[in-house]
C-alpha cells in the first residue's frame, strides 16, 4: 500500500514536470523563414529611417552653411555701407567748406567799402549782382548735394540696422540648427545601431535556417525533433565492444605486405561477425555500396556536428540495415559486422572487423564535393583520425560500451 502511494506521487509529479510540447509553439523551418522576413522588413525600415535622418542632418548642415555664407555677405554689405557713409561725410564736409568759402567771399565783398564802390559804379554793381547770383546758385547746388548725401547716409544707416537684425536672426537660426544637428546626429547613430542589431539578427537567423536546411530539416518539421535526429554534438563508438586492431596512419598492408601504405581509418575487431554496427552520431545515410570486391558492403552517413559537416563510413559490413536518405540516430544499426567467414566476396579483409572512417565534409549522394570518389581513395585521402573525435584505448586493449 505504501508503494502504491509512492507510485501515485511519482506519476503525478511526472505528469506535472514533464514538459509538454504544444503544436502552436512548434518552431519549424517555416516559422524561422517568417522571422527572417520580419527581420528583413525591420532592417529595411531601420535603414530607411537612418537614411531619412541622414538626409535631414545634411539639410541642417547645408542650412548652417548657407546662413554662414549669408552672414559673410551681409558683413561685407555692412562694411561697404560704412565706407560709403565715410566717403559721403567727407563729401559733405567738403561741400560745407565750399559753401563757407563762397559765403566768406560774399561777406567780404558785401562788408567792405568795395561794396559802396560797387554801388556807385554801375558796371561794378552789375558785376556784384552777377557774382551774388552765381554764389547763391553754387551754394544752392551744394546744399542740394549735401541733402542727397545725407539721405544716402540715412539709407545706409537703415541698411546697417536691417543687416544687423538679419545677422541676429541668422545667428539664432544657426544656434537652433546646430542643436538640431547634434540631436539628429545622436538619432542617426542610434538608428545605425538599430540597423546593425537587426542585421545581426537577420544574419544569425539566415545562418540558422541554412544550418537547418543543411541537416535536412523539412519545412514544417519541428526543429527540436529535426536537430535531435540529424544534428549532433559529437561522435561515439560505432560498436559496443571490441579492440582497435589497426590505427589510423601509415602501416604495412596486411594483404599486400606493402610497407608505409596509408590506413585512413580505425580497424575495430573482436566482435562477433554479424553483430551490430551503429551510426557514430545522428545523421542521414549519404551513400551505400553493396558487395564491393574490396570493402564489402559499405555505408556512409552524413552528420552535422555543431554546424560542421562530417561523413562517417562503415566498411566490410556483412549486412546493410539502412537505406539511402534514412535519418539515423546514434542508436540506429547501419549494418552488421563482416569481413570474416560470412563475407567471402570481400577480398580486402583478413578477418572480422569494422573499418571505421571519419572525414570532414559530406561524401556520397547530396555531397558537397568528390561525389564519386572511390571508397579506397576516400578512406586514404579524406579521412581524419577517429581518435581525434572518439576515445579508444590503445591497440589490442578492449573497450566496453560506446
Ligand atoms: Zn581498415
Residues in the chain, total: 402
CA of 357 to the centre of ligand 1 (A): 9
What does each C-alpha distance from 173 to 70, 73, 166, 186, 286 come to in angstroms?
12, 16, 10, 20, 72
Answer with the residue of higher pLDDT: 113 or 230: 230
CA of 239 to the centre of ligand 1 (A): 15
CA of 263 to the centre of ligand 1 (A): 6
CA of 325 to the centre of ligand 1 (A): 25
CA of 246 to the centre of ligand 1 (A): 7
The 3-state DSSP composition of the chain as helix, strand, coil percent (nearest 5) reads 55, 20, 25
Dihedral angle over CA of 262, 268, 273, 276, nearest 10? -120
CA of 307 to the centre of ligand 1 (A): 28
Cα maximum dimension of the chain = 171
CA of 247 to the centre of ligand 1 (A): 8
CA of 107 to the centre of ligand 1 (A): 140
CA of 388 to the centre of ligand 1 (A): 17
The predicted structure's pLDDT at residue 15: 43
CA of 355 to the centre of ligand 1 (A): 4
73: pLDDT strictly greater than 90: yes
Alpha-carbon span 187 to 16, nearest angstrom: 49
17: pLDDT strictly greater than 50: no
CA of 292 to the centre of ligand 1 (A): 14
CA of 106 to the centre of ligand 1 (A): 139
pLDDT in tens, 331-349: 999 999 999 999 999 999 9
pLDDT in tens, 103-151: 787 777 666 656 566 666 767 677 777 877 877 888 888 889 899 999 9
CA of 376 to the centre of ligand 1 (A): 10
Give the rounded percent of residues in the chain with a pLDDT score beyond 90: 57
The predicted structure's pLDDT at residue 280: 97
**What's the whole-number mean pLDDT along residues 315-329?**
91
**What's the whole-number mean pLDDT along residues 88-116?**
79
pLDDT in tens, 372-390: 788 888 888 899 999 999 9
Q: Which domains does the chain have, with CATH numbers?
A: 30-213 (1.10.287.620), 230-400 (2.70.70.10)
Alpha-carbon span 176 to 180, nearest angstrom: 6
The predicted structure's pLDDT at residue 48: 95
Please give the span between the terminal C-alpha atoms of the chain, in angstroms, as a whole number: 40
The total of other beta-carbon atoms located within 10 Å of residue 237's CB is 21
DSSP state of 259: T
The predicted structure's pLDDT at residue 10: 46
CA of 264 to the centre of ligand 1 (A): 7
Amino acid at each position: 500500500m505504501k508503494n502504491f502511494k509512492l507510485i501515485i506521487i511519482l506519476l503525478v509529479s511526472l505528469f506535472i514536470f514533464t514538459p509538454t510540447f504544444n503544436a502552436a509553439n512548434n518552431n519549424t523551418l517555416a516559422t524561422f523563414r517568417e522571422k527572417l522576413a520580419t527581420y528583413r522588413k525591420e532592417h529595411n525600415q531601420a535603414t530607411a529611417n537612418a537614411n531619412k535622418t541622414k538626409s535631414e542632418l545634411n539639410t541642417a548642415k547645408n542650412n548652417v552653411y548657407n546662413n554662414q555664407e549669408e552672414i559673410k555677405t551681409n558683413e561685407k554689405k555692412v562694411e561697404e555701407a560704412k565706407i560709403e557713409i565715410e566717403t559721403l561725410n567727407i563729401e559733405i564736409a567738403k561741400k560745407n567748406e565750399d559753401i563757407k568759402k563762397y559765403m566768406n567771399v560774399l561777406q567780404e565783398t558785401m562788408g567792405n567799402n568795395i561794396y559802396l564802390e560797387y554801388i556807385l559804379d554801375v558796371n561794378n554793381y552789375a558785376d556784384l549782382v552777377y557774382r551774388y547770383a552765381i554764389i547763391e546758385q553754387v551754394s544752392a547746388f551744394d546744399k542740394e548735394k549735401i541733402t542727397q548725401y545725407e539721405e544716402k547716409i540715412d539709407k545706409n544707416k537703415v541698411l546697417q540696422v536691417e543687416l544687423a537684425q538679419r545677422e541676429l536672426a541668422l545667428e539664432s537660426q544657426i544656434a537652433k540648427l546646430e542643436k538640431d544637428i547634434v540631436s539628429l546626429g545622436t538619432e542617426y547613430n542610434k538608428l545605425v545601431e538599430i540597423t546593425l542589431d537587426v542585421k545581426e539578427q537577420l544574419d544569425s537567423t539566415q545562418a540558422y535556417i541554412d544550418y537547418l536546411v543543411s541537416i535536412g530539416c523539412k519545412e514544417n518539421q519541428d526543429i527540436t525533433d529535426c536537430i535531435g535526429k540529424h544534428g549532433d554534438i559529437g561522435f561515439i563508438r560505432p560498436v559496443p565492444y571490441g579492440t582497435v586492431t589497426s590505427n589510423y596512419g601509415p602501416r604495412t598492408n596486411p594483404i599486400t605486405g606493402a610497407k608505409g601504405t596509408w590506413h585512413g581509418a580505425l580497424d575495430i575487431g573482436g566482435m562477433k561477425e554479424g553483430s551490430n554496427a551503429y551510426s557514430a552520431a545522428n545523421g542521414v545515410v549519404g551513400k551505400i555500396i553493396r558487395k564491393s570486391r574490396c570493402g564489402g558492403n559499405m555505408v556512409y552517413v552524413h552528420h552535422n556536428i555543431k554546424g560542421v559537416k562530417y561523413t562517417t563510413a562503415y566498411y566490410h559490413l556483412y549486412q546493410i540495415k539502412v537505406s539511402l536518405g534514412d535519418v539515423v540516430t546514434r542508436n540506429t544499426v547501419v549494418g552488421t559486422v563482416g569481413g570474416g567467414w560470412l563475407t567471402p566476396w570481400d577480398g580486402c579483409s583478413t578477418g572480422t572487423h569494422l573499418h571505421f572512417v571519419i572525414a570532414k565534409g559530406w561524401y556520397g549522394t547530396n555531397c558537397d564535393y568528390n561525389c564519386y570518389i572511390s571508397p579506397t581513395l576516400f578512406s586514404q585521402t579524406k579521412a581524419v583520425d577517429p581518435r581525434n573525435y572518439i576515445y579508444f584505448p590503445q591497440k589490442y586493449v578492449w573497450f566496453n560500451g560506446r
